[in-house]
Chain A
């Protein structure tokens, strides 16, 4: 028992070991959750469409993600002849790397965070933006006109929607006075959730942040880069096997991270009565993730120019106004505001 306590202490005090240990744990848990979110989505989609979803593999279809993973791993990995081989193979790997890296700063509990960075918000948003780069790479190096179209549209959409996303992520930063995600959550735990108080900018910022994350992650209704009926599979049209599998996997992972970020920034993260923090965090993330899936299976998609117009004509001006309003309300309404 003493040795275990000693090991536990060293892990917590030594920053390298702390990061490594929690990194492995959280990454494993996150990847498992993402894999089973595939099951959840297919069951939810099935029920919404009056059918049952997977039922054969395992009890109630629970082993379906395993079956999918095994199937994808068995498939032939084909590289087109004219494709840029190194970058072609590197794209899905990079995509996964950036998605996992943004998990590093999300606080799942009062002590459960891999790296308590002082610039947590910027870290996550930077990696969300960096994820566009492998998408475009996949589109270009596939040597396929459909993939090229998809890659171009993905980049245009991504860089446009980063603007309202960043601006709205600034609202909790202004309220809490820090970029550190743990500080933001602690502030909400001590006072009240930013979506509720100060009234006004919180809820608008939440909605716009949510919509912008949907657009970043190429989810319906903004999934023009992967529009199957037009571009078959979007950027991943030339990929086969597990390298294809990494694309939708990363899309789910990004959706989960977006839900986690939205709940950390606006919904209070791990704060909540009675139960330990991590339960609340997972519950809020799960609810937002379900809303993302629900929207996916209900709405039709925007055309790319309508998407752009929505961003630049509506979301960006509203975001600017909201940021200013947030600053004003912080000065008057929140503790530590007026000097």
Chain B
């Protein structure tokens, strides 16, 4: 339609994902192509069965579950202190935020207050982890759109090089580059070493500069713009209906950010500017993540200037399996992870109070994957890969 560009707010006609394939055109020669669990581009082990008419996808059926490890069942026999290192591995790209979500649920059930310094540090770590996670998302999207051997790989290397600076800082703080086990019920386990704040400020400023380079290399490039403009438009009503709230929802006009609208920890003391778009295509999701990275850098830099003094944990250190006892309670806590709202629903009281009766995790990537049968039909494979890349699913948290 000349002159009218479809976007997330206008009524975009989406194909029916539940259509029975026999009802499709009987003269068409349909082919089943399996974008199988081993595939260099899908983020993790994830299978999508594509039914194609020539080069155009007619129906897409997704089969998650290849990475199911029974985490929630495992929680029923673990104590509260043991859960944190296990839950690190759900959304394995942003472990700080996973730990924060789970420990906030425990603290809410125990009704224990976290000291101010610990809350401040948790916020800084969450923002730095958000930067690191978005760098991964930006890099892997360009890798999908460009080449694994080729232009995409260069850009991917640049984002990972910058992410290494953050990971080095985390190593100085906790001892592990990745999967830290540094949050605990009541606060933190590791305190900021001497000089860490100064080094962190330097590193984050460097990443900010490098993002300018990234902009010029990728976002301003018309080939990249051609690949992702107008591809995979997600209408706002579908995003709301499927429960998408993170960068994907914000790219489609859902102006929701838990850091601003339901602030926890120290987010009520700082101003969080939330980027939104209304176009809802891959470029919008990419740009929302890019702008969120800038915003998180700004927040972390501002907070690193004035870390308050005090203890970092309001309970004594865990020194046995029965250290943390929660008699009963039922809480739900939602935090803003780089992919959306990461929720933890805890029913306490199992194992004699030492562990949860049921711990359910609401993974934002699971909701992201559920748009695939809606978005993929009508595109060809190149666009399908671009859409999957822009949704940035992490299979660890989809399957748990």
Taking beta carbons and an 8 Å cutoff, which residues of A are in contact with B? 45, 48-51, 145-146, 149, 220-221, 223-224, 227-232, 296-306
Contact = CB atoms under 8 A, between A and B. Distances in A.
Contacts of B157: 49-51
A302 B153 contact: no
Given A220-B150, A223-B150, A297-B151, A50 B144 contact: no
Given A149-B55, A303-B227, A224 B382 contact: yes
B223 A221 contact: yes
A300 B142 contact: yes
A220 B31 contact: no
Given A149-B381, A228-B147, A303 B154 contact: no
Contacts of B223: 221, 299-302
B226 to A, nearest CB: 5
B9 to A, nearest CB: 26
11 contacts: A50-B158, A220-B147, A224-B382, A229-B41, A298-B217, A299-B150, A300-B142, A300-B145, A300-B221, A303-B383, A306-B227
Interface residues of B, number: 35
Contact of B382 (A51, A220, A228, A230): A230
A297 B149 CA distance: 8
Contact of B226 (A229, A297, A302): A302
Nearest to B156: A49
Contacts of A296: 147, 150-151
Interface of B: 31, 33, 39-41, 55, 142-155, 157-158, 161, 217-218, 221, 223-224, 226-227, 380-383, 385
Given A221-B223, A297-B154, A304-B382, A232 B147 contact: no
Contacts of B39: 232
Contacts of A305: 380
A37 to B, nearest CB: 15
Chain B binding surface, main DSSP class: helix
Given A220-B147, A301-B223, A306-B226, A45 B154 contact: yes
A300 B151 contact: yes
B382 A48 contact: no
A300 B227 contact: yes
Nearest to A220: B150
Nearest to A248: B149
A224 B385 CA distance: 13
Most chain B CB atoms below 10 A, which of A49, A304, A305:
A49
Contacts of A50: 157-158, 161
Nearest to B150: A220
A218 B145 CA distance: 16
Most chain B CB atoms below 10 A, which of A51, A220, A224:
A220
B385 A145 contact: no
Contacts of A306: 226-227
A86 to B, nearest CB: 26
A303 to B, nearest CB: 5
A296 B223 CA distance: 13
A227 B145 CA distance: 9
A301 B40 CA distance: 16
